[in-house]
Amino acid sequence: MNKRTFLNLLSTAIASPVVAPLSAWADKQKLTNWAGNLTYSTDHLHEATSVDQIRSVLRSENKVKVLGTRHCFNSIADSRQNLLSLKPMHQVVAVNREARAVTLEAGITYGQLGPYLDSQGFALHNLASLPHISVAGACSTATHGSGEKNGNLATAVSALEFVTASGELVKLSRKSDGEVFRGAVVGLGALGVITRITLDIQPTFSVRQYVYENLPLAQIKEHFDDIQSSGYSVSLFTDWQKQRINELWIKSRVTDGQSFAAPPEFFGAKLARRNLHPIAELSAENCTEQMGVPGPWYERLPHFRMGFTPSAGKELQSEYFVPRRNAIDAILAVERLRDQVTPHLLISEIRTIAADDLWMSTCYRQPGVTIHFTWKPDWPAVRRLLPVIEKELSPFQPRPHWGKLFTLSPSELRSRYEKLPDFIQLAKQYDPQGKFRNDFLNTNLFAD
């Protein structure tokens, strides 16, 4: 089944409280994730348009996994039994101007939300590289953008509503529920079916985006902090060859006295005179506007434009978070592997993220630097390479992105989350029988 068929099938929402599974695919093709590297283990896909319909699915099925926009590369969203999509539940419920908060139905994407919020005079603090992903799926996996003062996207969540395995509708908020709330926000799909999310918003703002080419690696070693603090959101793209960062992307808020001055040369890198794709060979048509043209936050903070294929399309992705204090050593560790890495790579991206207090966040209590890999779609080769990278990064105790490919053992993974025992207890409280647990969660988190 191609992506369009999938979307068409999903759009056949049923308004009755009873949900018919959309399992009979017209062309008998299997349901896959966005990248096509994962075929979900069932074609039993339910779709809900209301809390009552969600309850109906949960009553009739022992195992259910909610699907967002299917952009994870690993099996965190997979199920052998039942998938549940909330795609039709994509309305903005309320904008609270005084509290600076927006409440959303869980199926909404950042691409749907951005223009609406902007039209109301508001913005989110940050976005990922693409707006195509669902807010619920992104926050559930601690998806992030860049910017050393910006927490990941889940840090904007101030309240959450979800239906538990027993059908109870639980409402948690940052203000009233303290630790339980902080445990639930990056929930990895393990606590229940998120139906509503409330996010912090701020007055809308404009951003100018500049791209520099050929930043010498030596400058990164000497001036990493200066470079990372040069913009509101900064990304370094490299193929690890020639001792250089191929492209430096600086996203600067248009605020009096704080904008980036964009000199023609910056730490030895040259200001680009045309829009660029992070993979320089690809057309920049898919990318957000650069060369300092001011634009609204939702059209500059992502690298890729809504309505166009983000990234390369045919690819795999991996990403490792290390403590910010180890940034240079970790970058140099990967650079040493360049001749093994580059043949399988489309591009790497290095970003910074502020610390937070969300239990299962990859930046829990530590400001992070992430080293991301967009791979050519050759899983056998990537699978052989990931342990080599993970070993090289092991002195820095890397935490892998929850939605991307990694080969760290479950025990290594578990050792990196001090709040994991509490998270497991929380999940068991809302889901004692493991209705929302799948192979990924059982193997990586819940195994004894």
Ligand X SMILES: Cc1cc2nc3c(=O)[nH]c(=O)nc-3n(C[C@H](O)[C@H](O)[C@H](O)COP(=O)(O)OP(=O)(O)OC[C@H]3O[C@@H](n4cnc5c(N)ncnc54)[C@H](O)[C@@H]3O)c2cc1C
Closest approach of Cβ 190 to ligand X, in Å?
Answer: 8
Among 129, 158, 206, 286, binds ligand X (CB under 6 A): 129
**Distance in Å, CB of 7 to ligand X, minimum:** 13
Provide, rounded to whole angstroms, the least separation between the CB of residue 440 and ligand X.
8
Instruction: Identify which of 300, 301, 302, 236 has the alpha carbon closest to the alpha carbon of residue 266.
Output: 236
Q: Which of residues 188 and 386 has its CB atom nearest to ligand X in the complex?
A: 188
* 401 vs 419, beta carbon nearer ligand X: 401
Q: Could you tell me the sign of the dihedral formed by the alpha carbons of 293, 297, 298, 300, in that order?
A: positive
In the complex, the smallest distance separating the C-beta of residue 250 from ligand X, rounded to whole angstroms, is 16
SS3 296: strand
Task: Work out how close the CB of 275 gets to ligand X at its nearest, in angstroms, rounded to a whole number.
Answer: 18
Interaction mask 9-48, ligand X, x per CB under 6 A: -------------------------xx-------------
Of the candidates 118, 136, 276, 165, the one whose C-alpha atom is nearest the C-alpha of residue 211 is 276
Where does residue 180 rank: exposed (0-12), middle (13-18), buried (19+ CB within 10 A)? Answer: middle
Residue 271 to residue 408: CA distance in whole angstroms: 39
Kindly tell me which residue out of 44, 87, 125, 144 binds ligand X, with binding defined by CB under 6 A. 144
Rule CB under 6 A: choose which of 37, 49, 75, 134 binds ligand X. 134
Cα–Cα distance list, 86 to 40, 48, 119, 127, 438 (Å): 17, 5, 25, 21, 19
- CA distances to 123, 162, 286, 302, 352 from 113, rounded to whole Å, are 10, 20, 20, 13, 24
* Position among 38, 58, 138, 347 found at the interface with ligand X (CB under 6 A): 138
- Which one of the spans 3-11, 133-141, 169-177, 408-416 is the region binding ligand X (CB under 6 A)? 133-141
Q: Which residues contact 197 (CB under 8 A, 6 or more apart)?
A: 103, 104, 106, 135, 136, 139, 157, 159, 160, 161
Site string for ligand X, 60-89 (x = CB under 6 A): -----xxxxxxxx---xx--------x---
Residues 152-171: x where in contact with ligand X by CB under 6 A, - otherwise, as a string? --------------------
Give the position of tokens 């259910």.
Answer: 64
Retrieve residue 172's tokens. 């948690």
Least distance CB 362 / ligand X (angstroms): 8
Q: Which is nearer to ligand X, 35 or 371 (CB)?
A: 35
Cβ-based burial of 376 (10 A; exposed 0-12, middle 13-18, buried ≥19): middle
| Residue-level length of the chain | 448
Which range, of 132-140, 172-180, 281-289, 381-389, touches ligand X by CB under 6 A? 132-140
User: Which of the ranges 45-53, 139-147, 254-262, 380-388 carries the binding residues for ligand X, by CB under 6 A?
Assistant: 139-147
Interface pick for ligand X out of 403, 406, 419, 427 (rule CB under 6 A): 403
What gap in Å lies between CA 254 and CA 54, rounded to an integer? 43
- Provide CB contacts within 8 A for 399, sequence distance 6+: 320, 321, 362, 368, 413, 416, 417
Least CB distance from residue 325 to ligand X, whole Å? 21
Q: Toward ligand X, which CB reaches closer, 194 or 427? A: 194
Part in contact with ligand X (CB under 6 A); list of ranges 43-51, 128-136, 199-207, 216-224:
128-136
Q: How many residues bind ligand X (CB under 6 A)?
A: 34
* Neighbour count for residue 41 (Cβ, 10 Å): 17
End-to-end CA distance of the chain: 38
**Residue 158: which H helix or E strand, with range?**
strand 157-163
Nearer of residues 100 and 416 to ligand X, judged by Cβ: 416
Please state the closest distance from residue 154 (CB atom) to ligand X, in A.
Answer: 10
CB of residue 179 to ligand X, shortest distance in Å: 20
Residue 89 CA, chain-centre distance (Å), reads 20
DSSP per-residue string spanning 313-335: SS-EEEEEEEEGGGHHHHHHHHH
Asked if residue 189 binds ligand X (CB under 6 A), the reply is: yes
Which of these segments, 124-132, 164-172, 222-230, 325-333, binds ligand X (CB under 6 A)? Answer: 124-132
Q: Which of 38, 58, 106, 154 binds ligand X (CB under 6 A)?
A: 106
Instruction: Out of 209, 246, 290, 311, point to the residue binding ligand X (CB under 6 A).
Output: 311
Q: How far is the CB of 445 from ligand X (least distance, A)?
A: 11
What residue ranges bind ligand X (CB under 6 A)? 34-35, 65-72, 76-77, 86, 106, 128-130, 133-134, 136-138, 140-141, 143-144, 188-189, 193-194, 310-311, 401, 403
